[in-house]
Amino acid sequence: MKALVTGATGFIGAALIERLSAEEGFKLRAAVRRPAPRPVAGVTYAQVGELGSNTSWGAAVRGVDVVVHTAARVHVMNDAVVDPLSEYRRANVEGTLCLAREAASAGARRFVFLSSIKVNGEGTPLGQPYRADDSPAPVDPYGVSKLEAEEGLRQLLHGTGTELVVIRPVLVYGPGVKANFLAMMRWVHKGLPLPLGNVPNKRSLVALDNLVDLIRACCVHPAASNQTFLAADGEDLSTTELLARMAAALGRRARLFPVPVEVLRGAATILGRRGIAQRLFGSLQVDVSKARDRLGWAPPVSVDDALRKTARHYLGTLSR
């Protein structure tokens, strides 16, 4: 199978390239904005520049069976641009449809689109997870752009012979993770006392290895055709549980003390950190049973093993 992976030097794309390049049966082409700093043996590279409506994909999609589109303008907290939605649309909608149009014209059999759980929304009542076929309810510009891309892809690829598979992951963690997850690891590793000792929420996460495994299944499984799947580890954690297990993975003791969540939310609101408060104190759960039932898929890596792998990488960066 000849596969094109976009965003091949990014957090998810690079891990997917590493996984598929080690398997027999895959011939890989990687689309990158600029030359790859560390090319992977056996992988051919196509430099395509910035993602947008005028990106030239002809050489990249020629002869491929499957396109896995991981490239995107990613979610940015406190985005400083004047019109965030327009910026997200340029890359995530116009850029995606440009690629899909050329892939379909080139005869690609399947287009696997990495979307986001933000298409479903920003949070769930405790014990009421999102399901793959729930009605979308995006809130922020990033989530809106991903939904518009999904809808545009369905319209564009209908009747072309190119199957569409949509994957909506929750927060992805693993070696090299950045943003809020990395900040939490730093807090725990430094032994900072944290007022998060009794947060009664539940959140779904997905280990990078588990997401890559699901993407691989969606490349090859016949039953994935024209379906939408949610991606998660299958074990939901409270913020308190996550910090405690993260500490264990780092070889540290979690220094957590309880403070009422209502007090913490109020403080976050005063400081203008409502988004962070939602991630720390709110629930966001997903049901991955559709992937299990249709594809026979189950996350191959446990949360604790994934946290240990993430922690080893993090600790390794401190010694460089």
Contacts of 3 (CB under 8 A, 6+ apart): 20, 26, 27, 28, 29, 64, 65, 66, 67, 68, 219
Among 88, 142, 173, 314, which one carries the catalytic annotation?
142
Comparing CA positions, the residue from 304, 125, 133 lying closest to residue 203 is: 125
Contacts 24+ apart (CB under 8 A), 214-218: 214/167, 214/291, 214/295, 214/297, 214/299, 215/16, 215/68, 215/112, 215/114, 215/167, 216/16, 216/19, 216/20, 216/23, 217/291, 217/295, 217/297, 218/112, 218/165, 218/167, 218/295
Catalytic status, residue 142: yes
* Residues 188/190/193/199 CA torsion (nearest 10 deg): -10
Cα separation, 229 vs 168, in Å, equals: 6
Catalytic sites, residue numbers: 142
